[in-house]
Amino acid sequence: MIRFWWVRHAPTHSKAMIGWSDVPADLSDAARIARLSDFLPDRAVIVSSDLVRASATADAIAGGRTRLLNDKGLREFNFGDWELNLHSQIAAEYPKRLSDYLDSPGDTRPPGGESWNEAAARVSRSVDRLAAECPSGDIIAVSHFGAILTQIQRALGVSASEACSRRIENLSVTRIDWNGSWTVGTVNHLP
């Protein structure tokens, strides 16, 4: 059995859409980070997205765990031309496309960005590779809101819209297991 312990990175406090921009995380809540690290399995390997908000969070909670190389496939969605814009700005310029992107995630993509389906395929490829490299045990994957939701969708076999109804807070843990099929253990646990 493989247990993926998905951790959403520490907060950025940004109000804009942040996908592939390398925005730092606020790691100032040392007590919360210590609780999170203590909650996670000691013998797990730890991997993260290559974006600094995830990689710095992974470094902060790693402790004595084996740290794998950062994985670009675990990045947040690529928001393309919407990157670093406020929701209100995007809605004013792209009302229909934004509505389609948010209300029925699937093949609609931001200009210059990637769709839900493209992001889900990218994240799943990385997860499958990690599962093959670590065929049993625990993997802590420090990633992003959207990336984690794609794996909830995959494990539950639900629509992207249903997966998007889940709350994934910063520094929360979502556990998804592989034992011949995907199952969800817990979602958005705050240690």
Quote the pLDDT of residue 21.
96
Q: What is the tens place of the pLDDT at every residue in 82-127? A: 999 999 999 999 999 999 998 889 999 999 999 999 999 999 999 9
- Please say if the pLDDT value at position 136 is more than 90: no
pLDDT band at 159 (very low <50, low <70, confident <90, very high): very high
Mean pLDDT taken over the chain: 96
pLDDT band at 16 (very low <50, low <70, confident <90, very high): very high
Alpha carbon distance 119, 109 (integer Å): 10
Angle at 182 between CA 11 and CA 141, to 5 degrees: 30
CA separation (Å) from 92 to 17, 87, 112?
15, 9, 18
Q: Are the beta carbons of 35 and 103 closer than 8 angstroms?
A: no
Quote the pLDDT of residue 135.
76
Q: Span 24-36, mean pLDDT?
A: 98
Quote the pLDDT of residue 112.
96
Quote the pLDDT of residue 104.
87
Domain residue limits at 85: 2-189
Strand order through the sheet with 182-189: 66-67, 45-48, 137-143, 2-8, 173-178, 182-189
The distance in angstroms from the start CA to the end CA of the chain is 23
pTM: 0.95
- Please say if the pLDDT value at position 130 is more than 80: yes
Question: Which amino acid belongs to residue 97?
Answer: R
Domain count, the chain: 1
Q: Are the beta carbons of 186 and 175 closer than 8 angstroms?
A: yes
Q: What is the tens place of the pLDDT at every residue in 37-85? A: 999 999 999 999 999 999 999 999 999 999 999 999 999 999 999 999 9
Domain harbouring 116, CATH code: 3.40.50.1240
Q: Percent of the chain beyond pLDDT 70?
A: 100
- Please say if the pLDDT value at position 129 is more than 80: yes
What token pair was written down for 19?
Answer: 């996908």
